[in-house]
Amino acid sequence: MSLTAMRIAKLVGARVIVTSSDDAKLAAAKQLGADVTLNHRTQQVAAEVRALTNKRGVDVVVENVGAATWDDSLRCLRRGGRLVTCGATSGPQVHLDLRRLFWHHWSILGSTMGNAAEYAEVVRRLGQGELRPVVDRVYPLGQARDAFERLAKGEQLGKIVVELPSEV
């Protein structure tokens, strides 16, 4: 689940379906604007998405998990849909049947942040307060190890910030 991607999608008027394995994170996503939330540990995500879209599938999937959710992400796409991959926390190696790729006319795009114009637009919206990052916790530099442990366990909801002392 990428809260930032979800919030940007909402800013441009998209209907957003968020998936996660954590019900508390899904509740937070709903509170932050997700239209639909699905737990990929307890629900059949692709089947649920197909039902929600009258068997059509979604236009775009933002895939930031990797190997563990890759197949479901592809099964959620409509014919001609786009998958944007921007993470591989569950592993970088995926299986892709090229016949499905060309048969369904899917596009797969790797992205880290977007192009310069898109980045400038996000920064503008941040500056105007239209988009605010969700900060899970702020740690002083001396507790950076704790911050990384929380991140490694996947316990965070939003960004982890390690604060540098004002006097270096």
Q: Both tokens of residue 148?
A: 């990384």
The DSSP H or E segment spanning 31 is helix 23-31
d(CA 135, CA 153): 17
| 3 or 106, greater pLDDT | 106
Residue ranges covered by each domain of the chain: 3-133, 134-168
Confidence of residue 168 (pLDDT cuts 50, 70, 90): low
Report which DSSP code applies to 132: -
State pLDDT tens for residues 120-160: 888 898 889 888 888 989 999 999 999 999 988 888 888 89
Please give the backbone phi and psi of residue 60, each rounded to the nearest 5 degrees, phi first.
Answer: -140, 135
Closest CA to 19 of 124, 90, 101, 125: 90
pLDDT of residue 155: 83
Round to whole Å and give the CA distance between 7 and 3: 6
The CATH fold assigned to 3-133 is Quinone Oxidoreductase; Chain A, domain 1 (3.90.180)
Identify each DSSP E strand in 3-148 by its residue range: 17-20, 36-39, 58-63, 77-85, 107-110, 135-140
pLDDT in tens, 35-65: 999 999 999 999 999 999 999 999 999 998 8
Q: Per mean pLDDT, which range of 15-24, 28-37, 126-135 is the poorest?
A: 126-135
Is the model's pLDDT at 92 over the cut of 70? yes
Would the pLDDT of 163 be above 90? Answer: yes
pLDDT for residue 1: 55
* 65: Cα within 13 Å, side-chain hemisphere: 16
Other C-beta atoms closer than 10 Å to the C-beta of 10 total: 16
